[in-house]
Each structure stands twice: as C-alpha cells, then as structure tokens.
Structure 1
Amino acid sequence: MKLLFIGESWVIHMIHTKGYDSFTSTKYEEGATQLLTCLKDEGIDVTYVPAHEVQVRFPCTLEELKDYDAIVISDIGANSFLLQNSTFYQMEIVPNALELIKQFVAEGGGLAMIGGYLSFMGIEGKANYKNSPLAEVLPVLMEDGDDRVEMPQGFRPELAKKHPLVDGFGQWPTLLGYNRLSAKENTDILLQHEADPILVLGSYEKGKTAIFASDCAPHWGSREFVEWKHYSTFWGGLMKTLVK
C-alpha cells in the first residue's frame, strides 16, 4: 500500500523577554513522527509531505496522485491547498488541489482526515473544509465556525458498532478533545463520545473514506493514546480499510 500523508507540522515563533531586553527564536516541529514510523512498521509505504511543503510537493495532476492508494490529511487547513504561491503571488491559473483529491477518491482512491486544530473546520473555523470540495467526499457533515470540543478532563471513546478494525482492543485510552461532527447517512460509526462520532467509515463514488475526529498526536492525542499497545495496529488497520 502506498500512502500520501499530508500535514502535522508547524513552526513556533517565540519572543523571550528578560527585563529590558528581548530576543526571538523559532523552532520547527512535526507531530506525526511516531505515527509514520508505526505505519511503516505495518508494511505501508508512506510519503510524508509536511504542511509547509504542500506548496512545492503536492502532486499537480490526477495522474501523479494515482501513484498512491490513499491520502491522509491531518491538521492542515484548506487554504494550504487552495492558495498556491503561483496563484496567490503571480495570479496564475492552476488545478484546484482539493478538486484533484475529490476526483482521486471518485475514481477509487482512499481518503482519511484526522482531527486537530486545522482539520474539518478547526479553530475559529480556519480549516474551512466545510466550504471546500472535500465536504462532499468526507463521510461526515461539518458545523459552521469553530468545531473544537476541548476535554481537559479526558474522555474514552466508546464502541458504537462491532467491526474488525476496532474489535478486540478493550477499553480505549483517554483522549483530550475532538472536532464535533455529524455522520452522513449510509456510513459506519465505529467509535463515539455521547452523540458525537469519533471514528467513521464511508465511501464516495468508487473510493473509500474515513475520519478520526480526535488527534493522532498530543495534545488531543494523549500520551496514554500514543503509548497504547494497540496504537500501531489501529492506525495500520485504518489505513488498510481505505483500499480493501
């Protein structure tokens, strides 16, 4: 299985103030390192495109996308796909990257979105996938505006339906938040918290889709989750459901 994994990176710019004087520093971080290692251990060939490299590394044609079996989008907003440098700065006409993903799924590719501050609608609605071509593709309906549910007290997802992907894991580890969504008709809700779906499987035309409404890494993905003995098995299984 060949997987294109996009997002889960960020730059932090800090101001350090010590009395009268101050200085700045910048650091770069990636949140999916452990997950990507686990996927490779599960026999999946992963190509990773960090958020800041979408501008220069995301495939420009449907034919290039078809080199992969499935795409994962995690914690990167729609603008990173829609506002290519060539269009934003040079006013060039280029293919809509999200339309390419939509067509990729329609013709049999897999697509998963993992939750986070810039997934689905995200913080202050800035991820904005509800108003993008992927709204039709994903197996969930998105809210308007900020869809985050912060759970500092923690919650444990509960099984909503028996399925080989989640059977046999026992009690799920604590998570610290998620994106609030509603499952579309004719989808499978496998995990939920109260009335909110956490793990949903679906399809779009010839392709398969999935969402995990919480995060694969801190902070919503708690240390208990990323250190969970079934972490690798779960994520590997989820990716493989996109191509079965």
Structure 2
Amino acid sequence: MKILFIGESWVIHMIHSKGYDSFTSTKYEEGATYLLSCLKQAGIEVDYMPAHEVQVRFPKEIEELKKYDAIVLSDIGSNTFLLQNPTFYQMEVVPNALGLIREYVENGGGLLMIGGFLSFMGIEGKANYKNTVLAEVLPVEMLDADDRVEIPQGANPKTILKHKITENIENWPAFLGYNKFKAKKEAEVLVKIQEDPFIVLGSYGKGKTAAFASDCAPHWGTTEFMEWEYYQPIWVRLLNYLKQN
C-alpha cells in the first residue's frame, strides 16, 4: 500500500526580549513524525509532503495521483492548495489542486482528513474546506466558521458502531480538542466524542472517504493517545479501508 501524506509542518518565528535588547529565532517542526514511522513499520509506503512543499511538489496531473492508494490531509488549509505561486504572483491559470484530489477520489482513490487547527474549517475558519470542491467529497458537513472545540479537561471518544476499523476498541484515550462537524446522511459514524462525530466514513464516486475529528499528534492528541496500544492499528485500519479494490 502506498499513500501521499500532506501537511503537519510549520515554521515558528520567535521574538526573544531580554530587557532592552531583543533578537529573533526561527524553527521548523513536523507533527506527524511518529505517525509516519508507525505506518512505515506496518509496511505502508509513505510519500510525505510537508505543507510548504505543496507549492512546488503537488502533482499537476491526475495520473501522478493514481499511483497512491490513499491521500491524507492533516492540518493544512485549503489556501495552500488554491493560492499557489504562479496564480498568486503571476496570475497564471493552473489546475485546481483540490479539484485533482476530487477527481482522484471519484475515480476510486481514498481520502482521509485528520483534524487540527487548519483542517475542515479550522481556527477562525481559515482552513475553509467548506467553500472548496472537497466539501462534496468529504463525508461530513462542515460549519460556517471556526469549528474548534477545545477541551482542556480532556474527553474520551466512544465507539458506537462495530466495524473492522474499531474492532476490539471500546476504551479510548482522552483528547484535548477536535473539529466539530456533522456526518452526511449517507455516511457512517463509527465513533463519537461529546455527542459529536469523531470518526466518519463515506464514499464519493468510486472512492472511499474518512474524517478523523481530532489530531494525530499533540496538542489535541495527548501523550496517552500516542502511547495507546491501538494508535498504530487505528490508522492502519483506516487506510486499509480507503485502499482501492
């Protein structure tokens, strides 16, 4: 199995003030390192595309996407795909990257969106996937604005539907937040958190889709989740579900 995993990277620019004087520093981080290592250990081949590389590396032709069994989008907003350099700076007409993903799923590919500050609608609505072509592809109906639910006290999801993805999983670790959305009528809700959908499965055209409401890593994903015995199995099962027949 081969997947394309996109997102989960960021640059932090800091100002250090020490009395009269100050200086700046910058650091680059990736949030999915542990998840990707777990997938590779399970025999899944992963092409990882950090958020800032979408500008220069995301395929321009549908044929380039067809080599993948599934695409995973995690904590990366729609603007990164829609406002690429040739269009933003040179006013060039280029293929809609999200349109290519829609076509890929319609033709039999799998799509998983994982929650985060820039997933679904995201912080201040900046992820903004509701107003893109992926709104019709994903198995959920998104809110019109900021969809984050912050839970500093923690909340434990509950499995509500038996499925090969949730097999033997009854007790979930706590999460510190998630993206709030509703499942589409034809979708399946496997897990809920605070009465909201947590894992949702669906389909689009010939392909399969899934939504995971919370984070694959800190901060919403707790240390307890990262160390959970089903951490690797739940992701492997989700991706196997999405795999093309």
The TM-score with structure 1 as length reference comes to 0.99
The answer for the alignment partner of 1:25 in structure 2 is 25
The answer for the alignment partner of 1:124 in structure 2 is 124
Unaligned runs of 5+ in 2: none
Q: Which amino acid in structure 1 is aligned with residue 167 of structure 2? A: D
The alpha carbon displacement at 1:2 in A equals 0.9
The root-mean-square deviation of aligned C-alpha atoms, in Å, is: 0.7
* Cα distance in 2 between the residues matched to 1:43 and 1:211: 22
* Cα distance in 2 between the residues matched to 1:186 and 1:87: 36
Q: Which amino acid in structure 2 is aligned with residue 218 of structure 1? A: P
Q: Which amino acid in structure 2 is aligned with residue 185 of structure 1? A: K
The answer for the alignment partner of 2:96 in structure 1 is 96
The alpha carbon displacement at 1:194 in A equals 3.1
The answer for the alignment partner of 2:38 in structure 1 is 38
Deviations 1:110-136, CA, capped at 9 Å, x for gaps: 000000000000000000000000000
Q: Which amino acid in structure 1 is aligned with residue 38 of structure 2? A: C
The answer for the alignment partner of 2:158 in structure 1 is 158
* Cα distance in 1 between the residues matched to 2:30 and 2:71: 18
The answer for the alignment partner of 2:189 in structure 1 is 189
The answer for the alignment partner of 1:60 in structure 2 is 60
The alpha carbon displacement at 1:230 in A equals 1.2
- 3-state SS of 2:238 partner: helix
The answer for the alignment partner of 2:75 in structure 1 is 75
The answer for the alignment partner of 1:208 in structure 2 is 208
- 3-state SS of 1:192 partner: strand
- 3-state SS of 2:232 partner: helix
* Cα distance in 1 between the residues matched to 2:227 and 2:31: 14
* Cα distance in 2 between the residues matched to 1:62 and 1:4: 13
- 3-state SS of 2:219 partner: coil
Deviations 1:49-75, CA, capped at 9 Å, x for gaps: 000000011111101111111100000
* Cα distance in 1 between the residues matched to 2:108 and 2:214: 26
Deviations 1:184-221, CA, capped at 9 Å, x for gaps: 01111000023210000110010000010000000000
User: Percent of aligned positions with the same letter in both sequences?
Assistant: 67
